[in-house]
């Protein structure tokens, strides 16, 4: 009932029709990939253009789940081109300003959802539209990862800024990119994929393990 | 007997195990196991976290979904397992918990422990290359010391304390790697054959095989220095150079401010017996305390945010003074249960009403001035305008003041007699004014009264640490000021000269504008203003230089006044030379009062015929008499003292003008230029002189600071 009321309120606002469909198109329960990078952290890879963020429950009702005091479907984020639009479904503040209508997200903005959950939205690289979501409050993603990558066209992992994921001890960058609809990666160093020497580009395959001179990571499917 | 405990080495997330403290030393991490592998039954590995000298550390989930860190023991299996068993049941929120020891199918040992998802202190230090803010420093250091104190009290020396071994999870600081610890033995302190750890944090006696608690105190001192400055105190190109510095060099304490400096200085003593005997002593100067449950709590002069009400805080203190404070805060004077206090309250009722009205009005005006949302530059300009107006009308104002004083003094004497007869005793003969103040206001300020706030654990009401009184604080600060190098002092002095010159330029420009506005801006007036600006600058420069020389001690006022008189002679001579050079026309630039003085036979100037010529122009003796007296009558060094009460005091400016006026009464000097020199000097030196950390003043014990 509450959700219906929220919907009615939201649809009453001009220019919100498109984003409301997110609820209907919710990818709740969709299987995500997690990139576990040794010595760096774990990152949830979101390939879709729109994601619903909500409370982690035994029956998931959102794409990205947070173990915190927020609605099961709290906010939605839709990517349009290189922009990200936030639609709140419960009390939400962007940079401490309350909002109840779609808002364009900017680099390094803090999103407060409900009473205590706080997220930071960042789009660190001008060369890539991929954005990153981090929990800045003392809450956790489910599954427990260090951040969420909203993959657009490419994503940079490297020792220097601006990278979506900074890997301080790497000597060179690793680039994730889309090639003919398939996510691949490439790096300057010699790479072993599942223990075998391979040549670039390397397709990103669930269950794979890749390692180079100074890096190693695995792709796991979150079930 | 010394027993080596298991080396449990948890590396920070994203930071390789490096013997150096700086993570830029890249190190290739090759993990044996990848995501999804289950080398240990019941645990599924997610990713590698780090690799240390003693094994690999993984982030893993057990079959129930519990997040853990798994450490694979790669060498010294028996020794390490024995050591971890000794530590398995240590429980403290500031220590990473050890859960279990398990063996895989290949008899490989694994340590199951708490997974910490947050960053470590090394990461934080890299974000703050010049040192952490004080609140962050206290937050981290207090909790680190709490954990180390717990270890020490349980007979364990950490032996490898360093920023990379300290993590933060959900706001709680946690120490890892305490598996490298050793039992403290009363009989022996050596016995370890292998020297491991990070050289930057390694105490000098480790080379001799001594592993007492003091090596942790030393490492804490190094960490504190690094947290305060962003750098370790002893660094070098090679390991030998670093070790040699630990053995012989003294840390550069000038980079560390008080009170951190005193903690670092004692913790980094080369002689272990000269260091803190107990780690918990290290946090007391920072306003923290480790309580009996090994929790860090804040004391009254802490920078950490307060949570306990002033009344509750004061109530913890059993002293009668504190009890009276509680009563005063609660508005229940009888609760204090002290007849003397009641008498003091009564005496307040009989406070002289005019003085009380003036004081309260002044307080309100001062408060309004402090709270007025104005830029400091605008404030200075307003003050300058006010001073100019005062100076130009000083003759009238002083007449009003003297008249008022003549009326008030007899009135006050009568009032004293009347009030004492009404109250049946002398007004306040037995009560010190300071106590009046104590009772008249809630002297335990909210922030100062906060105590017993645990940072990471339950509340423990306790306030054993006594904050400094104003006198103690000043003494400590003066000692610090005495340690300032000559180069830094010189830089301060030249900076002060520069700033004072700018202030005087603005000040004298305003005087000129004022003169133009009043239609008196002839050539003679403008030349006089230029003379005033330059002479004021000479005075200000002299005062700033002397003040810097004298800032490290209270000094004897008589000696200092004499030196100022001597300097005043020089200023007088320069002022005369300048006056002669500029050909200042004092008769035409001064007001009609000055000119009229020469018309009368009883004029004051006639008392000093050798000081003035027939046209009223002051001669060299007049300069040599006026300026030494003006310099000697005012305690200028107090206006440039870094420990002065407020950075800018209007009262000081007024007193400087009054002093100039008093000198003028004795040695007439062209009006109003003598007073303008005094006012300009006072404004310039106060605005140009440094003023030390006002925040520290708020941490003082208010009850002890009164009087």
Distance (Å, rounded) from C-alpha A208 to C-alpha A195?
Answer: 10
- Across the interface, which of A36, A140, A207 has its CB nearest the CB of B46? A36
Closest CA to B28 of A215, A218, A71, A11: A215
**Can you tell me the distance from the alpha carbon of A53 to that of A121, in angstroms, rounded to the nearest whole number?**
13
In the block, which residue shows the tokens 């309004």? B368
Q: Give the C-alpha separation, A147 to A139, whole Å.
A: 12
Confidence bin at B596 (pLDDT 50/70/90): low
A199–chain B Cβ distance below 8 A for any pair: no
Start-to-end Cα distance in chain B = 56
Could you tell me the pLDDT band of residue B303, with boundaries at 50, 70 and 90?
A: very low
The token pair that represents A220 in the structure block? 């796991």
CB B467 within 8 A of CB B321: no
Is B14 part of the contact surface with chain A (CB cutoff 8 Å)?
yes
> B28 vs A209: CB contact, 8 Å cut-off?
no
Judged on CB neighbours under 10 Å (0-12, 13-18, 19+), B474 is middle
Residues A91 and A161 grouped into a single domain: no
The pLDDT of B557-564, averaged and rounded, is 89
Strands ordered across the beta sheet of A64-67: A103-104, A83-88, A75-80, A50-55, A64-67, A140-142
**Residue B203: exposure state from Cβ atoms within 10 A (0-12, 13-18, ≥19):** buried
ipTM score here? 0.74
| Distance between CA atoms of residues B72 and B95, nearest Å | 20
Q: What band does B390 get if pLDDT is binned at 50, 70 and 90?
A: confident
Q: Does A169 touch chain B (CB under 8 A)?
A: yes
Residue with tokens 């708490």: B114
Tokens at B539, concatenated: 């005075």
Q: What is the pLDDT of residues B194-216, one digit of tens each?
A: 344 568 888 888 877 777 889 99
pLDDT at A218: 93
Domains in chain B: ranges and CATH: 122-173+181-298 (1.10.510.10), 309-359+435-449 (no CATH), 473-695 (no CATH)
Q: If you average pLDDT over residues B94-110, what whole number do you get?
A: 89
Say if residue A98 is in the same domain as residue A166: no
pLDDT at B614 over 90: no
pLDDT at B60 over 90: yes
Q: pLDDT value at position A88?
A: 93
What is the mean predicted confidence (pLDDT) over B396-424? 74
Residues of B in contact with A168 (CB under 8 A): 14-15, 23-24, 26
Average pLDDT over residues B297-303: 61
pLDDT at B300: 53
A197-210 mean pLDDT = 87
Mean pLDDT, to the nearest integer, of B125-134? Answer: 88
Closest CA to B95 of B153, B146, B140: B146
Task: Tell me which chain B residues have a C-beta less than 8 angstroms from the C-beta of A40.
Answer: 13-14
* Range from A141-145, B406-410, B622-626 carrying the lowest mean pLDDT: B406-410
pLDDT score recorded for residue B292: 84
Please, which residues have CB within 8 angstroms of residue B477's CB and are 6 or more apart in sequence?
Answer: B258, B642, B643, B692
* CATH number of domain containing A117: 2.60.200.20
Closest residue to A171, CB basis, from B26, B29, B170 = B26
- Predicted confidence at residue B543, as pLDDT, reads 92
* Residue ending a domain, choose from A116, A145, A174: A145
* B654-701: pLDDT as tens digits: 889 888 888 888 888 777 788 888 989 999 999 888 887 655 555 544
**8 A C-beta contact, residue B158 and residue B181:** yes
Q: Residue B424: CB partners within 8 Å, gap ≥ 6?
A: none
Domain closes at, from A145, A165, A200: A145
Question: Could you give the C-alpha distances from B683 to A26, B382, B494, B509, in angstroms and in order?
Answer: 69, 12, 17, 14
| Residue-level pLDDT at A53 | 94
Whether the pLDDT of residue A43 is over 90: the answer is yes
- The reply to whether A82 and A163 lie within a common domain is no
Looking at residue A52, its pLDDT comes to 93
CB-based contacts of B221: which residues, under 8 Å, 6+ apart? B263, B264, B266, B267, B268, B275, B282
Q: Which residue from B192, B193, B217 is spatially nearest to B204, judged by alpha carbons?
A: B217
Question: Does residue B170 belong to the interface with chain A, where contact is any CB pair within 8 Å?
Answer: yes
Average pLDDT, chain B: 73
For B216-267, write each residue's pLDDT tens digit: 999 999 999 999 999 899 888 777 788 888 888 888 888 888 888 889 999 9
Q: Does A213 touch chain B (CB under 8 A)?
A: yes
Residues of B with CB below 8 A from A140's CB? 117
pLDDT band of residue B29 (cuts 50, 70, 90) is: low
Identity of the highest mean pLDDT range in A25-29, B308-312, B642-646? B642-646
Phi (first) and psi of residue A161, to 5 degrees:
-85, 145
pLDDT in tens, B333-350: 333 333 333 333 333 344
N-term to C-term CA, chain A: 30
CB contact under 8 A, B50 and A168: no
| Partner residue opposite A218 with nearest CB, options B35, B49, B50 | B35
Q: Are the C-beta atoms of residues A119 and A106 closer than 8 Å to each other?
A: no
Range of the domain at A167: 31-46+151-223
Angle between helices B339-349 and B433-440 (to 10 degrees): 90
Q: Which residues of A touch B127 (CB under 8 A)?
A: none
Question: What is the tally of structural domains in chain A?
Answer: 2
Q: Which residues in chain B touch residue A209, judged by CB atoms under 8 angstroms apart?
A: 34-35
Same domain, A58 and A94: yes
Contacts of B382 (CB under 8 A, 6+ apart): B374
Cβ <8 Å between B35 and A36: yes
A81 pLDDT more than 70: yes
| Percent of chain B residues topping a pLDDT of 70 | 70
> Same domain for A160 and A202?
yes
The 10s digit of each residue's pLDDT in B62-96 is: 988 899 999 888 766 777 777 788 888 888 999 99
Non-local CB neighbours of B554 within 8 Å, separated by 6+ positions: B478
Between B522 and B605, the more confident residue is B522
Q: Which two tokens stand for residue B100?
A: 């279990």
Cα–Cα distance for residue pair B658/B668, rounded to 1 Å: 14
Q: B66 and chain A: CB distance < 8 Å anywhere? A: no
- Spatial contact of B447 and B702, defined as CB atoms under 8 Å apart: no
The Cα B407–Cα B155 span in angstroms is 76
Helix/strand/coil percentages in chain A, nearest 5: 10, 45, 45
Q: Are A42 and A66 in contact (CB under 8 A)?
A: no
CA distance B705 to chain A (A): 41
Q: Out of B14, B30, B67, name the one closest to residue A41 (CB).
A: B14
Considering the domain architecture, whether residues A213 and A181 belong to the same structural domain is answered as yes
Confidence band of B147 (pLDDT split at 50, 70, 90) = very high
Q: Percent of chain B beyond pLDDT 90?
A: 14
User: Which is it for the CA torsion A43, A47, A51, A56, positive or negative?
Assistant: negative
Strand B109-114 with B55-62, pairing: unpaired
Burial zone of A99 (CB within 10 Å; 0-12 exposed, 13-18 middle, 19+ buried): middle
**Range with lowest mean pLDDT among B28-32, B410-414, B577-581:** B28-32
- Per-residue pLDDT tens over the stretch B155-191: 888 888 889 889 988 889 999 877 654 444 333 333 3
Asked if A170 lies within 8 A of B59 by C-beta distance, the reply is no
DSSP 8-class letter at B325:
H
Task: Give the separation between CA A216 and CA A193, rounded to whole angstroms.
Answer: 10
Structure tokens at A164: 């979506």
Q: State residue B46 phi and psi, 5-degree precision.
A: -100, -50
- Residues listed for chain A: 223
Cβ burial, residue B478 (10 Å; 0-12/13-18/19+): middle
Residue B396 pLDDT class (50, 70, 90 cuts): confident
pLDDT digits (tens, 9 = 90+) for B577-590: 988 888 887 766 66
Q: Between chains, do A216 and B46 touch, taking CB under 8 Å as contact?
A: no
Across the interface, of B35, B50, B171, the residue whose CB is closest to A209 is: B35
Other CB atoms within a 10 A radius of the CB of residue A25 amount to 13
Choice among B227-236, B321-330, B403-412 with the minimum mean pLDDT: B321-330
Q: Which residues contact B293 (CB under 8 A, 6 or more apart)?
A: B457, B458, B460
- Same structural domain, A21 and A92: yes
pLDDT tens digits along A89-134:
999 999 999 998 899 999 999 999 998 899 999 998 888 889 999 9
Nearest by CB to residue A138, choosing from B14, B49, B171, is B171
Phi, psi dihedral angles at B84 (to 5 degrees): -65, -35
Q: How far does A71 lie from chain B, in Å, by closest CA?
A: 22
Question: Hey, is the C-beta of B707 within 8 angstroms of any chain A C-beta?
Answer: no
Domain final residue, candidates A104, A121, A145: A145
d(CA B647, CA A219): 62
Asked if A218 lies within 8 A of B24 by C-beta distance, the reply is: no
DSSP B432-473: -HHHHHHHHTT-S-TTTT---EESSS-------PPPPPHHHH
Average pLDDT over residues B563-573: 91
DSSP SS3 for A133: strand
Same domain, A118 and A78: yes
- Shared domain for A18 and A38, answered yes or no, is no
3-class state of residue A160 by DSSP: coil
- Residue A196, phi-psi category: left (phi > 0), alpha (psi -120 to 50), beta (remainder): beta
B46/A168 Cβ within 8 A: no
List CB contacts (< 8 A) between B64 and chain A: none
| Nearest CB to B67 within list A37, A144, A216 | A144
Give the mean pLDDT of A150-176.
87
Compute the nearest-CA separation of A189 from chain B (Å): 13
A208: closest chain B residue by CA: B35
For residues A205 and A108, membership in a common domain is answered with no
On whether any CB of chain A is under 8 Å from the CB of B48, the answer is: yes
Chain B interface includes A25 (CB < 8 A): no
Interface residue A218 vs chain B (CB under 8 A) = yes
Quick one: average pLDDT of B627-648? 87
CB pair distance less than 8 Å for B14 and A39: yes
pLDDT digits (tens, 9 = 90+) for A183-199: 999 988 888 898 888 88
Q: Which candidate, B439, B3, B393, B379, places its Cα nearest to that of B183?
A: B3
Q: Could you tell me which residue, B379 or B264, shows the higher pLDDT?
A: B264
Provide mean pLDDT across the span B524-540. Answer: 88
A168 touching B (Cβ < 8 Å): yes
Residue of A nearest to B18 (CA): A169
Q: Are residues A36 and A137 in the same domain?
A: no
Query: Are residues B48 and A144, on separate chains, in Cβ contact within 8 Å?
Result: no
- One domain for residues A89 and A130: yes
């Amino acid at each position: 009932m509450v959700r219906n009321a929220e919907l009615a309120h939201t649809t009453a606002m001009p220019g919100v029709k498109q984003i409301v469909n997110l609820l209907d198109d919710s990818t709740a329960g969709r299987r995500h990939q997690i990139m576990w990078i040794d010595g760096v952290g774990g990152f949830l890879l979101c390939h879709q253009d729109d994601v619903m963020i909500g409370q982690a429950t035994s029956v998931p009702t959102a794409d990205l789940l947070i173990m915190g005091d927020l609605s099961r479907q709290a906010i939605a984020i839709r990517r349009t081109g290189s922009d990200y639009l936030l639609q709140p479904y419960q009390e939400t503040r962007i940079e401490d300003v309350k909002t109840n209508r779609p808002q364009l997200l900017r680099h390094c903005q803090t999103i407060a959802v409900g009473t205590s959950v706080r997220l930071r939205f960042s789009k660190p690289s001008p060369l890539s539209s991929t954005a990153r979501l981090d929990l800045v409050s003392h809450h956790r993603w489910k599954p427990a990862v260090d951040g969420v990558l909203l993959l657009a066209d490419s994503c940079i992992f490297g020792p220097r800024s601006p990278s979506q994921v900074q890997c301080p001890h790497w000597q060179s960058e690793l680039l994730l990119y889309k090639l003919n609809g398939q996510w691949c990666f490439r790096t300057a160093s010699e790479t072993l994929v599942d223990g075998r020497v391979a040549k670039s580009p390397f397709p990103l395959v669930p269950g794979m393990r890749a390692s180079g001179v100074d890096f190693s990571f695995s792709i796991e499917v979150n079930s | 007997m010394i027993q080596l405990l298991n080396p449990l080495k948890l590396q920070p997330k994203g930071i390789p195990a490096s013997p150096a403290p700086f993570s830029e030393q890249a190190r290739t991490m090759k993990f044996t196991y990848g995501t999804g592998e289950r080398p240990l039954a019941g645990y599924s590995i997610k990713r590698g976290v780090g690799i240390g000298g003693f094994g690999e550390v993984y982030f893993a989930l057990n079959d129930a979904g519990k997040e853990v860190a798994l450490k694979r023991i790669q060498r010294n299996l028996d020794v390490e397992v024995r050591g971890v068993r000794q530590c398995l049941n240590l429980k403290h929120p500031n220590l990473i918990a050890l859960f279990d020891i398990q063996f895989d199918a290949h008899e490989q040992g694994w340590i199951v422990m708490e997974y910490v998802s947050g960053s470590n202190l090394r990461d934080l230090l890299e974000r703050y290359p010049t040192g952490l803010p004080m609140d962050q420093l206290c937050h981290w250091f207090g909790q680190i010391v709490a954990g180390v104190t717990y270890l020490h009290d349980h007979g364990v020396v950490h032996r490898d304390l360093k920023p990379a071994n300290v993590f933060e999870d959900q706001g709680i600081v946690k120490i890892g790697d305490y598996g490298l610890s050793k039992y403290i033995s009363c009989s022996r302190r050596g016995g370890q054959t292998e020297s491991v750890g990070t050289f930057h944090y390694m105490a000098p006696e480790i080379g001799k095989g001594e592993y007492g608690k003091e090596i942790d105190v030393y490492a804490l001192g190094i960490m504190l220095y690094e947290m305060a400055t962003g750098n370790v105190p002893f660094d070098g190109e090679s390991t030998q150079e670093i070790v040699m510095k630990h053995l012989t060099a003294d840390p550069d304490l000038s980079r560390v401010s008080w009170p951190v400096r005193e903690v670092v200085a004692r913790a980094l003593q080369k002689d272990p017996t000269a260091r803190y005997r107990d780690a918990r002593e290290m946090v007391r100067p920072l306003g923290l305390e480790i309580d009996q449950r090994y929790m860090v709590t804040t004391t009254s002069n802490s920078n950490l945010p307060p949570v306990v009400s002033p009344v509750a805080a004061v109530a913890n203190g059993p002293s009668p003074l504190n009890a009276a404070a509680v009563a005063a805060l609660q508005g229940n004077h009888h609760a204090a249960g002290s007849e003397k206090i009641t008498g003091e309250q009564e005496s307040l009722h009989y406070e002289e009403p005019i003085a009380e009205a003036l004081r309260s009005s002044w307080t309100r005006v001062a408060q309004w001035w402090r709270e007025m949302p104005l830029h400091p530059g605008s404030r200075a300009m307003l003050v300058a305008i006010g001073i100019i107006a005062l100076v130009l009308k000083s003759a009238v104002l002083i007449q009003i003041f003297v008249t008022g004083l003549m009326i008030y003094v007899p009135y006050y004497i009568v009032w004293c007699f009347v009030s004492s007869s009404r109250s049946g005793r002398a007004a306040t003969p037995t009560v010190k004014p300071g106590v009046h103040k104590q009772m008249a206001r809630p002297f335990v300020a909210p922030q100062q009264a906060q105590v017993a706030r645990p940072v990471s654990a339950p509340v423990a009401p306790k306030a054993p640490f006594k904050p400094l009184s104003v006198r103690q604080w000043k003494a400590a600060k003066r000692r610090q000021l005495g340690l300032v190098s000559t180069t830094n002092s010189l830089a301060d002095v030249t900076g002060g000269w520069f700033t004072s010159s700018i202030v005087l330029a603005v000040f004298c420009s305003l005087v000129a504008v004022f003169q133009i506005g009043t239609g008196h801006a002839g050539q003679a007036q403008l030349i006089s203003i230029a003379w005033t600006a330059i002479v004021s600058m000479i005075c200000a420069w002299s005062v700033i230089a002397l003040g810097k020389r004298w800032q490290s001690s209270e000094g004897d006022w008589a000696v200092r006044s004499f030196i100022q008189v001597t300097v005043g002679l020089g200023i007088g001579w320069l002022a005369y030379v300048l006056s002669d050079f500029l050909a200042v026309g004092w008769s035409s630039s001064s007001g009609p009062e000055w000119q009229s003085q020469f018309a009368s036979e009883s004029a004051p100037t006639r008392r000093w015929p050798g000081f003035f010529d027939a046209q009223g122009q002051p001669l060299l003796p007049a300069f040599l008499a006026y300026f030494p007296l003006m310099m000697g009558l005012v305690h200028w060094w107090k206006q440039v003292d870094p420990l002065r009460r407020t950075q800018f005091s209007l009262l000081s400016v007024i007193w400087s003008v009054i002093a100039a006026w008093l000198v003028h009464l004795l040695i007439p000097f062209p009006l109003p230029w003598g007073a303008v020199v005094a006012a300009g000097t006072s404004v310039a030196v106060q605005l140009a002189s440094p003023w030390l950390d006002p925040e520290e003043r708020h941490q003082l014990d208010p009850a002890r600071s009164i009087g």
